[in-house]
Amino acid sequence: MLIEAQSVTKMFGAFKAVDNASVTVEEGDILGLIGPNGAGKSTFFNCLTGDMPLTSGTVRFAGTDITTAPPEERARLGLARSFQVPLTFESMSVLDNATIGALLRHHNAREAQAKAREVLDRVGLGRLADAPAKSLGTPGRKRLEIARALASEPKVLLLDEAMAGLTPTEVREAIELVRRIHAGGVTIVIVEHLMEVITSLTRRVVVFHQGREIARGTPREVTSDPHVIEAYLGRRKVRHAGES
Amino acid sequence: MNARRLIQLALLVAVLIYPFLTLESPVYQRLGALVLLAAIGASAWNIVGGYAGQVSVGHAVFFGIGAYSAVVAFVHADLPPIVGAPLGMLLSVGVAAVIGVPTLRLSGHYFSMATIAVGELVRVLSSTSDWLGGAQGLGGPAMPRTVFDLSFMSAMPYYYIFLAVLAFLLGMTWWIERGRMGFYLRAIKDSERAARSLGVSAGRYKLYAYMLSAAFTSLAGSLYLCMFGFIDPESGFGILLSVKMVVMAALGGAGQLFGPLVGALILVPVEELSNSLLGGEGAGITFVVYGAIIVIIARFLPAGLLSLFERRPTAEKPAVSTANPASGHAD
């Protein structure tokens, strides 16, 4: 078991953004976390990466308890992430952005840059390596987020809406990229809005709604689950949901 | 390209023989030494304020510790003042750790404000200590006893001592800049959150930069004491000292190797000129000048003067900004 999140709860004041969620990720998985806006999937995601402290629950990574570990510690253990709104290192070149990731495993700057170049080629940014990162548009920045994370040679890559804001063509290319990364031996957890991405990419999906997990299974299973349809589209008819 | 090398060589030679060019005018010799001393302080500040982007406005604390350590070595232990320099550096590193651990958690302006508060606190405390001479301050050796007192009539020895220290400091900064720590500091400056997600122990690196910066600011203080032979709470811990370091680095280019030196080359002569024209009563004018410079830099040149000379290799390829990077891997 690579990631084992148990009974994770995150409160903002009295509001339960994530309510007792338990998710496990095995090596080689591509797991999708989906749900309507405000379902708590991004909050849950940030609990996994260490960006937000949990209110209660535990998170284990490859057998180590990382519940209270800061993000940098998790990165060292092999947990890399992208940000929903890209946090590009604006003052640097594209290459230097990726180098920051590569320096985690290659302490020598020269070696790290070689590694960074290799990763940039892999994600299709090789041609722009020497351009200033701030000259990149949204698709380029999203790609750079992934390159940076990959350069840190992670076991798991957590993608937070890596495809939001892309055109359909760009989405298809990005899906292809994630597939290649997965084929290269990296476990993937992806938070996504776009059903297309989830159905074409993932094997297993966990559906969040109002901070709770309401369904899990293959993409086909969950998309036909009445709870999920209800969460996304609202009730078809009045009925008593005594059990939920 | 060769012209560039030639200019660099000419500048280097000019810096090396400057005291001999100004043999006839001790005022200019002294000015040269003062520029270098200010450049040491501002370059030390640059490590944490420029590269790591943690704008400390309380670096006078370390300058003062350096200056007082030197004078205390003389007054209370009868040693040459410069013996106090390494002690001051050690003490400054310790104090930096004590200040930095809680304050470096603050971001942006909050960190700057905390450092101002600490700076003022130390200034007030120092003026109440009899051991440190209270508000009157302390003086170094009135007459040089040995050469180790580093007390000279001419400014020339100071010029070369300061030049050597500055060269060492810039060399070390250059080395850091190109290594892992340099990359990490710049990443922290751009986005601490992203840096941490990539395994950068932001807290630790900021603290290292702060301690290193403190050590050399302290050395600048000790050197100041050797040259001026006197220190009081205002000249050691005054907030204007902290502001000067910030403004010099920002004017030349914060986070750039030679930024602080360029800033010092401009500001020190301006300050000396305003002092000599206006006398002691004009001291307040310095504040006005600095204020004006801050406003002008912030408005027109946020990256400092050196950014005017930056070569922009990508400027001729504007296609980069619009190019869809995805098309780059269509192969």
Which tens digit of pLDDT belongs to each residue from B231-283? 999 999 999 899 999 999 999 999 999 999 999 999 899 888 877 777 666 66
| CB contact B2 to A (< 8 Å) | no
- The whole-angstrom separation of Cα B189 and Cα A92 is 11
Contact B191 A88 (CB under 8 A): yes
Which tens digit of pLDDT belongs to each residue from A185-219? 999 999 987 778 888 889 899 998 888 888 889 98
- Rg of chain A over CA atoms, in angstroms? 18
Q: Which class would CATH give A1-78+155-239?
A: alpha beta
Tell me, yes or no, whether B320 lies in a domain: no
Supply the range of the domain harboring residue B159.
19-238
- The whole-angstrom separation of Cα A18 and Cα A39 is 8
Q: How far is CA B314 from CA B190, B199, B318, in A?
A: 20, 30, 7
Q: Which residues contact B299 (CB under 8 A, 6 or more apart)?
A: none
- Total count of residues recorded for chain A: 244
Q: B103 vs chain A: nearest CA distance in angstroms?
A: 18
CB B57 within 8 A of CB B217: no
In single-letter form, the type of residue at position A84 comes to Q
Q: Which two tokens stand for residue A27?
A: 């090596």
Band the pLDDT of B224: cuts 50, 70, 90: very high
- The whole-angstrom separation of Cα B154 and Cα B27 is 10
The helix/strand/coil state of A124 is: coil
Band the pLDDT of B327: cuts 50, 70, 90: very low
The pLDDT of residue B320: 41
Supply the pTM of this predicted model: 0.89
The pLDDT of residue B311: 59
Q: B174 vs chain A: nearest CA distance in angstroms?
A: 14
Contact A127 B199 (CB under 8 A): no
Tell me, yes or no, whether B297 lies in a domain: no
* Positions of E strands within B221-271: 230-231
* Positions of E strands within chain A: 3-12, 15-25, 30-34, 56-61, 64-65, 79-81, 156-160, 187-191, 204-209, 212-217
Q: Which residues of A touch B202 (CB under 8 A)?
A: 72
Most confident of A24-28, A100-104, B251-255: A100-104
DSSP string of B147-173, one letter each residue: GGG---SSSHHHHHHHHHHHHHHHHHH
Nearest to A100 among B179, B183, B325 (CB): B183
| Rounded (5°) CA angle A92-A97-A98 | 150
Band the pLDDT of B316: cuts 50, 70, 90: very low
> Which of the 8 DSSP states describes residue B208?
H
Average pLDDT over chain A, rounded to an integer: 89
Contact A92 B186 (CB under 8 A): yes
Question: Tokens 């670096």 — which residue?
Answer: B59
The pLDDT of residue B315: 41
The pLDDT of residue A195: 79
CB A19 within 8 A of CB A209: no
Query: Strands across the sheet with A30-34, in order?
Result: A79-81, A156-160, A187-191, A30-34, A204-209, A212-217
Mean pLDDT of B204-225: 96
Q: Which is more confident, B282 or B148?
A: B148
Query: Of A186, A120, A109, A118, which Cα lies nearest the Cα of A155?
Result: A186
Mean pLDDT of B110-119: 94
Q: How far is CA B74 from CA B49, B82, B229, in A?
A: 32, 9, 10
The pLDDT of residue B1: 59
Mean pLDDT of B58-64: 96
Which tens digit of pLDDT belongs to each residue from A47-81? 999 999 999 999 999 989 999 999 999 999 999 99
Tell me, yes or no, whether B329 lies in a domain: no
β-pair type (B138-139, B230-231): antiparallel
Q: Which residue of A has its CA nearest to B321?
A: A135
Average pLDDT over chain B, rounded to an integer: 88
Contact B180 A107 (CB under 8 A): yes
CB B63 within 8 A of CB B220: yes
- Rg of chain B over CA atoms, in angstroms? 21
Q: Which residues of A touch B196 (CB under 8 A)?
A: 70-72, 75
B 166-205 residues with CB < 8 A to A: 178-180, 182-184, 186-187, 189-191, 193-202
Band the pLDDT of B319: cuts 50, 70, 90: very low
Q: Is the pLDDT of residue B323 over 60?
A: no
Q: Cα B60 to chain center, whole Å?
A: 10
- CB atoms closer than 10 angstroms to residue B178: 12
- The whole-angstrom separation of Cα A223 and Cα A232 is 10
- The whole-angstrom separation of Cα A93 and Cα A135 is 9
Contact A152 B191 (CB under 8 A): no
Query: Of B301, B287, B314, B37, which Cα lies nearest the Cα of B157?
Result: B37
CB B187 within 8 A of CB A87: no
ipTM of the complex: 0.90
Tell me, yes or no, whether B203 lies in a domain: yes
Determine which of A83, A88, A100, A180 to mutate to test the interface with B (most B C-beta atoms within 10 Å).
Answer: A100
